Amino acid sequence: MAVAGVLALQGDFEAHASMLHRAGAEAREVRTREELDAVDGLVIPGGESTAIGLLAEKHDLVEPLRKRADDGMPILGTCAGMIFCAARVDGRAQPLLGVVDMTVRRNAFGRQVDSFETDLRVKGLDAPLHAVFIRAPWVEEVGSEVEVLAEYDGRPVAVRQGAVLLTAFHPEIAGDDRVHRMFVEAL
């Protein structure tokens, strides 16, 4: 059975662990380099992207994460995880993993009160996916190696570059495990 880590520094990592179990993987919380070394792939959950970046720096995880990503380790980043994985964030300096050639805009759809749900067509899925957007980013621009998997209102909200799959929405909230299954299939 594949072992999927969930970066457990900040955010709803328990919900992701539950979805990973449903998708057929063993889920383990990751807070240290040793725990990172023991997993086949990593989920970076939503939460607050600056906090995730600062905590990853504090726990000496940024460089090991970059190295594992460069070596092809599958990563699923959702909402703040998408921001943390981006090469660039529009309008704000913050710690970034920088493993996907894209620029994101934080809180692009508005504040907490502007959160919403919608059904999205996602490339690779046979039916629409119910997506929950909470203070979500969107992708401003992508590099040539980035594949756009879903858009909302003309903006990319799900992308993939190599083994890194990123969503602006929270697939762990809606109860549909297909995004997690896409990730687990890559392990």
Active site residues per annotation: 79, 170, 172
- CA 147, CA 162: separation in Å to the nearest integer? 9
- DSSP 3-state of 83: helix
- DSSP 3-state of 168: coil
| Residue 114 DSSP code | G
- Residue listed under structure tokens 């997690």: 180
86-90's contacts with Cβ under 8 Å and 24+ in sequence apart are 86/166, 87/143, 89/49, 90/140
- CA 156, CA 119: separation in Å to the nearest integer? 14
Beta-strand relationship, 86-89 and 100-105: parallel
